[in-house]
Amino acid sequence: MAWIQIRINANAATADAVSDLLMEAGSASVTFIDAKDTPIYEPKIGTVVFWADTTVIGLFEANHDMNAVVALLKRHDELKDNLVYKIEQLEDKDWEREWMDNFHPIQFGEKLWICPSWRDIPDPDAVNVLLDPGLAFGTGTHATTALCLKWLESQDLTGKTVVDFGCGSGILGIAAIKLGAERMIGIDIDPQALEASLDNANRNGVADKLEVYLPENQPEFTADIVVANILAQPLRELHSVILGLLKPGGKIAMSGILEEQAQSVADIYTPFIELDEIAIEGDWTRVSGTKKA
Ligand SMILES: C[S@@+](CC[C@H](N)C(=O)[O-])C[C@H]1O[C@@H](n2cnc3c(N)ncnc32)[C@H](O)[C@@H]1O
């Protein structure tokens, strides 16, 4: 498949906003590089990109409307008058090589590591998830995934059934299994996400504990834990579907919610969920809690 990428000059003030806008525009992946070409971004969670000149690269399928991407970026106050960018056609393998160079192991909480499947594992005694996201979302570098991983790492998952709603690469559900869950059910509207989740489950030797479904094919069941890293709007619109997957007393964590949207999501779930404090990382939040009996 052919790809097109946009490289954008950014800085500490704009890099995260550019990344979020590229995701919103439908980018298959977003990468940060130091514009001076020195090694590359894989920030520790909770740290801020501080290079004075960072290049943010968004990758899109070759037929993507890049004028629409540029228009979306220019709606941002700090970019509208000084957006510097370059659009390039890429061969599949060029992008893969660049992206693989940029993805390094990242630690979440005390014991969980997400490790690119082509790199050495830093701590063999840790809970290691080997990951190749393929074309699906979910490497752990995005704050929304990080918020969910940290939440999972803090739960007792032993023997639990976990739903990963919007599973992408399968990163959350596979981490849950590695952290002790008995069964993971991944649901996604994107067939490539289901494929990536199965590949990653195989990579981690947990394929026998994982099932994946398109929403229209999912069987009836209820789970002990639901993680849903989609966006605020589907979280609000699908609240009865999502709550229907969770047992009374079960726990839920939702992300993909910008800070200004968190209250509107909490308001919809609060009749059914005893809510925890909302967690914040950068512009993003996690809304979590326990289902009322
Ligand atoms: C932000 S990614 C999250 C991927 C991964 N769970 C993570 O945390 O990194 C959101 C995923 O939700 C899927 N998605 C979006 N809307 C959905 C819906 N209504 N039902 C199921 N999946 C959905 C997308 O295809 C995408 O794979």
Over the stretch 263-274, which tens digit does the pLDDT of each residue have? 999 999 999 999
The predicted-structure confidence for 15-58, as pLDDT tens digits, reads as follows 888 989 998 999 887 887 766 544 333 444 444 444 557 888 88
Element (H, E) at 40: none
Alpha carbon distance 162, 251 (integer Å):
10
Instruction: Please give the distance, rounded to the nearest whole angstrom, from the Cα atom of residue 167 to the centre of ligand 1.
Output: 6
69, pLDDT greater than 90:
yes
Residue 164 annotated as binding site: no
For ligand 1, atom 7: residue with the closest CA: 138
Residue 102 annotated as binding site: no
- The stretch 59-65 carries a mean pLDDT of 90
CA count, 13 A, side-chain hemisphere, 149: 29
| Prediction ipTM score | 0.99
Give the SS3 label for residue 33: strand
